[in-house]
Amino acid sequence: MTTQLQIAKSGKISDQVKSVAKAENLDPNLVRDELAAGRLVIPANTLHLKTNLQPCGIGRALTTKVNANLGKSPVSSSIDGELEKLKAALDAGADTVMDLSTGQNLDRTREKLLANCPVPFGTVPIYQVIEGRSVEDIDTKTIRRTIEKQAAQGVDFFTLHAGVLKEHLPLLENRLAGIVSRGGALLAKWMLHYNKQNPLYEMFDDLCDIMAQYDVCFSLGDGLRPGCIADATDDAQLAELNTIAELTKRAQQKNCQVIVEGPGHVPFDQIKHNMEIQQKLCNNAPFYVLGPLVTDIAPGYDHITSAIGGTAAAFYGASFLCYVTPKEHLGLPNADDVRIGVIASKIAAHAADIARGIKSAADRDNNLSRARANLDWENHLAQSIDPKTARKIHDQACEQMKTSTPDSDDYCSMCGQPWCSVRVNKEIKKNIKKHPSHAK
């Protein structure tokens, strides 16, 4: 199997590169060169490409991408419920989706989701490795078999917590929140039980061979990511990041694409440093961050705390934001929570792209502002990032003012007609050239 990374290194331009370049309005040679250098990935399992996948690129040369996590648990949701969440995520503009399901019927759940998912699709294989067994019963044969099976289903990228090493665990002693990564905690328990090294680290070269066979992208998981702001940028997090940097190089040498996962909970003043140190250690491999959340006190509003951190992270170095929903830390999200989480992260990503000077990033803003200045309500609503919500709020305002949304361009649902500065400004613009001062 020739991987996309091999093709790019050879100087050739693949169909996937052409597709990404067209979507981003970029020169295909630039996309190819960024891919060859490991600064950009296109998660695209060869089997998913044959069905319904529309390739998507992730990297600093491109717009910032947003991932939505789905997944049922043994006590919550169903396959139909996950399909509903998938639709909500795609409708809201998610660029990728991950299935974090646990419990029963995992193969069937993944099969149904993949069949309905035209964007890159990721999983965390260790969740299925422990299905029906205790952590102590995990062995390398089960890990390998699970990863091979999921790759053969068409999964585009795997989160694998191969950077958590046995020698890192004593660094957790003074942590406030300990290990909050589910995969990281499971592997830490296994290492302590057997007093052995992380099996994913030990078998990493074999895993690279499986990934290359199907051209699956690594998403090297941060099993020791900080779960509260007090633990941010501590010795454990940085020790794992150093190991991830080593694994990134090893995977790329075996022609595998790599995303690096990062924090987590990070105070705003530490975000820039976190982005810069990852870029330095991991040779600018795309950085995938969960938020980061900039405060711990907002259960129910963590989509907002993560959007604040996400904008800063994407400005300073991240390429890929994992959404956070209002249910973060409280429960599994429903379809509406998924929609809200995606929208919040899309706003963060877009705000960062404008600040980064990404070509055409502000075009939509300018189009909406033009419509707003002209009291062109239809285009104003249509250009919004969430037209459904914008229209609902606008219609409610009109109803409260005892009027319907008029076709006239001389009406404001906030001020009415006489006191609207936008309407008055239109008059000013029409008359300013007629004013004597203009002639002078």
Backbone phi and psi for residue 358, each to the nearest 5 degrees, phi listed first: -60, 130
| Residue tagged 């997944």 (tokens) | 71
Residue 438 pLDDT: 60
- Read off the pLDDT of each residue in 406-432 and give the average, rounded to a whole number: 63
Q: How far apart are CA 224 and CA 187, in angstroms?
A: 11
Q: In whole numbers, what is the pLDDT of the chain averaged over residues?
A: 93
Q: Comparing C-alpha atoms, which of 163, 178, 169 is closest to residue 242? A: 163
Q: How confident is the model at residue 410 (pLDDT cuts 50, 70, 90)?
A: low
Question: Which DSSP category does 288 fall into?
Answer: E
Q: Is the peptide bond before 292 cis (omega within 30 degrees of 0)?
A: yes
The residues near 208 (Cβ < 8 Å, ≥ 6 apart) are: 250, 251, 254, 256
Q: Is the peptide bond before 264 cis (omega within 30 degrees of 0)?
A: yes
Domains assigned to the chain: 4-356 (3.20.20.540), 363-439 (no CATH)
Beta-bridge mates of residue 157: 122, 217
Residue 376 pLDDT: 87
What spatial distance separates the first Cα and last Cα of the chain, rounded to whole Å?
74
Report helix angle 28-36 to 15-24, nearest 10: 120
Q: How far apart are CA 298 and CA 167, in angstroms?
A: 34
358 HSE (CA, 13 A, CB side)? 24
pLDDT at residue 84 is higher than 80: yes
Largest CA distance in the chain: 88
Residue 271 pLDDT: 98
Question: Which DSSP category does 64 fall into?
Answer: P
Beta-bridge mates of residue 219: 159, 259
Q: Which two tokens stand for residue 65?
A: 């991408």
Question: Which DSSP category does 40 fall into?
Answer: E
- DSSP output for 215-272: TPEEEE--TT--SSGGGTT-HHHHHHHHHHHHHHHHHHHTT--EEEEE-SB--HHHHH
Residue 396 pLDDT: 87
Q: How far apart are CA 49 and CA 231, in angstroms?
A: 40
Give the number of other CB atoms < 10 A from CB of residue 361: 18
Size of the chain in residues: 440
Q: Which two tokens stand for residue 368?
A: 């909406």
pLDDT at residue 415 is higher than 70: no
Cite the DSSP H helix spans in 100-232: 106-115, 126-129, 140-153, 182-194, 199-202, 204-214
Question: Which DSSP category does 360 fall into?
Answer: T
Q: Is 134 exposed, middle or buried (0-12, 13-18, 19+ CB in 10 A)?
A: exposed
Rounded alpha-carbon distances, angstroms, from residue 28 to 33, 57, 64, 216, 231: 9, 12, 18, 21, 41
183 HSE (CA, 13 A, CB side)? 28
pLDDT at residue 346 is higher than 60: yes
Characterise 357 by phi-psi region: left (phi > 0), alpha (psi -120 to 50), beta (else). Answer: left
- What's this model's pTM, rounded to 2 decimal places? 0.93
Residue 17 pLDDT: 98
Secondary structure element (H or E) that encloses residue 66, with its range: strand 65-70
Percentage with pLDDT > 90 across the chain: 85
- Read off the pLDDT of each residue in 415-436 and give the average, rounded to a whole number: 67
Instruction: Fill in the amino acid letter for 1.
Output: M
Question: Which DSSP category does 118 fall into?
Answer: -
Residue 417 pLDDT: 60
pLDDT at residue 277 is higher than 90: yes
The residues near 419 (Cβ < 8 Å, ≥ 6 apart) are: none
Q: How confident is the model at residue 337 (pLDDT cuts 50, 70, 90)?
A: very high
